[in-house]
Amino acid sequence: KNQVEQSPQSLIILEGKNCTLQCNYTVSPFSNLRWYKQDTGRGPVSLTIMTFSENTKSNGRYTATLDADTKQSSLHITASQLSDSASYICVVSHLSGTYKYIFGTGTRLKVLA
């Protein structure tokens, strides 16, 4: 069964600290993996996208890694800011005729001052 699992479910950190979010997937065949940030009451916004041949991708303070062998990905946030408080969703694209997105359950991050 094609699934995407994320951990932790929620996380609270202090402003300025770093954190790492995890994503494990069983989607096959795999096209690519994306990390999205979703603010409360808003649509998801893309942070990074990686194909199976890419190991890391950065976007400012966000760095995503991918291990296609173990089917694991992580999103590292450096020097967190209050505005980083949001849900972070790992999405795996299924390599099929419709390239359907398989969504993870998300990690809710709260950054405190």
Q: Report the nearest approach of another protein to the CB of residue 43 (Å).
A: 4
* 8 Å CB contact between 63 and 88: no
Q: Report the nearest approach of another protein to the CB of residue 66 (Å).
A: 16
Q: Report the nearest approach of another protein to the CB of residue 79 (Å).
A: 26
Name which of 10 and 81 has its Cβ closer to another protein. Answer: 10
Q: Which residues bind another protein (CB under 8 A)?
A: 31-32, 36, 41-45, 49, 89, 93, 98-101, 103-106, 108
Q: Which CA distances in Å does 73 have to 22, 43, 58, 67? A: 6, 22, 13, 6
Name which of 17 and 42 has its Cβ closer to another protein. Answer: 42
Name which of 5 and 16 has its Cβ closer to another protein. Answer: 5
DSSP letter string, 34-75: EEEEE-TTS--EEEEEEETT--EEEETTEEEEEETTTTEEEE
